[in-house]
Each structure stands twice: as structure tokens, then as C-alpha cells.
Amino acid sequence: MKPAKLLFAGTPDFALASLRALVDAGHVPVAVLTQPDRPAGRGKKLTASPVKKYAVEHNIPVWQPTTLKDADVVAQIATLNPDIIVVAAYGLILPQAILDIPRCGCLNVHASLLPRWRGAAPIQQAILNGDTETGICLMQMEAGLDTGPVYASTAIKIGDAESAGELHDRLADLGGELLAAKLPDIVAGKLNAVPQDESEATYAGKIRKQDAAMDWSLSAEEIARKIRAYDPVPGAWFEVAGERIKCFKALVLDDVEGPPGVILQAGKSGIDVTCGRGALRILEIQRPGRRKVTAGEFAAQQNLAGKRLS
């Protein structure tokens, strides 16, 4: 049986893991769709996506349309006559005209155990919610948001102190492994996609910077999950003396109580802040435009003890 004619659509590092796994397994795409180059870094220099860089290095044609609603773009994709389109964190919605092109449909690599956490930020939401496990699903795409039937899934445990960045990397690799293993059977029609249970659906919307603000009326455990969920981006934050301070590591202190948002102590061991229940020991912070430092280093430069955080 000859290899499937595959078109791949993806943009960031999460997608790169799937593309690399496909190529390593001999499933080389006839072309790659990825987002246009974007300004990045302090110099705002136009920068190619991780997927584009890899595709160029491996001589895979790259297309970077700004929209998929253009009839010429749809026609160009149709000329490839792909058997299947694989999508992983692409960033553009595939219209029905494109979903209808491949004979085997469009397959999405999604970072949750659907129907749990449909949407843009399933990794962060799983941590915020205190889930103990998550995983990868290979989903047949349709017009609805992550509503399509699932061909295959695999689960992993979420570490007690695991950040979204760390979980992201594990899930990216897991997604690539599952995709490379199951793609031949999906194309050959040997796997049946199972419809999702709509009654179990939950949603993980796009993250806004304001979502990462630390609300000291919450329990220390909830705030600690927020810190993990928004590490590395956008970074959970609080304000001190008019500065927005990002926090990346913290410990829960269950046996400490007091009015929420009061700094109990600030020293080498960290910065202890009371919460709605318990207290939080902040261990690592970052000031605007600065590198990450220990909370102890920050505390040595500030008079923090007794201050009330909003």
C-alpha cells in the first residue's frame, strides 16, 4: 500500500512534535500550512514558526495564507488532492470547503481527553481545574469547535507540581507518537471514530493577561494551580509599588491563616502571602523587563513585610 498523500497544518512547538514524528515515521507531507511570519523578540524581527523552520530544513513546501476563506487558497489546496489533512495547533479555523477536500477528512491532534476541555487552552485549564490526568485525542474534524468523533486517545498523569510548559512538552511528544502510530490505520479505514458524549463537554477558552492576575481571596491551592497553569505564559502576576510582578514557582502553606493578601514575611526562604484559605510561599518572580530571580533576591531589594497586596 502506497503512503497516504498528507497535508500538514500547524504552527508552534506543539505542532512541530507531530510533524517531526510523521517525517521520522516516513509520512512526509506534500506541503505544510503554517501561520505567516510574525514579529518576535525585542527587535520585533519577522520570525518563522517552528513548523516552517523544520519544513524548510527538510525541503517540504510551505504555504502561509493569512486566511483559509479565500477561494484561491481553497482551490490551491484542492489541487494537491490530499488523502488526509493533519492539523495540530495551526491557529486558523478550517472552513467546510477545506474540510471536504481530503477523502479521509481532516484529523486534529488535540491536547485533552475529549470531550473534556475543548477549545484553545486545554493544558492550562486542566491544571487550573485540579485535574489529575489529561491526554491526547486524534479527532476527526468537523465544523463545530472540537466536536468531532475521536479515533484514538491516550492518557497521562499530571504531576503535582507540573507547570503548563512542562505538561505541554510531554503532551506534544505524546501527540506525535500517537499520530505516527495510528495514521496508517485511520487512512486505511481500519479505525472507527467514536462520537463524543456532548453531556460531558467542557470548554477552555483563550487566555487573556487579566486571567492571570492573582486573586488573594482564593485558596492557596487554587492560586498555586494558577501559577503552574500560566507558566511560562502569560505568567501569573500581582502588583507591588505599581510594578506588575510575575510569579513562576510557589509552595502552599496550609497551616497559616490571616486576612487575604498580607505579606507575612519576605526573606531568603521566599515571600509568604496569606490567601482566602492558607498561605502561599512565592519562590520565583520576574519584574518587567528583567530576568527571573528567586523571591529571596527580590525581597532583599524591597521592604515588603506587612504590605497588603490588592
Domains for the chain: give ranges and CATH numbers. 6-204 (3.40.50.170), 209-300 (3.10.25.10)
Instruction: Name the residue among 240, 244, 222 with its Cα closest to residue 289.
Output: 244
Going by C-alpha positions, the residue among 93, 112, 222 that lies closest to residue 168 is 112
pTM, entire model: 0.95
**Rounded CA gap, 181 and 109, in Å?**
13
Neighbours of 68 (CB within 10 A): 17
Q: What is the pLDDT of residue 1?
A: 56
Residue 303 has what pLDDT? 83
Q: Which of 127, 145, 137, 139 is nearest to 175 (CA)?
A: 137
Per-residue pLDDT of the chain (310 residues; tens, 9 = 90+): 567 899 999 999 999 999 999 999 999 999 999 999 998 877 788 999 999 999 999 999 999 999 999 999 999 999 999 999 999 999 999 999 999 999 999 999 999 999 999 999 999 999 999 999 999 999 999 999 999 999 999 999 999 999 999 999 999 999 999 999 999 999 999 999 999 999 999 999 999 989 999 999 999 999 999 999 999 999 999 998 889 999 999 999 988 888 999 999 999 999 999 999 999 999 999 999 999 999 999 999 888 888 888 7
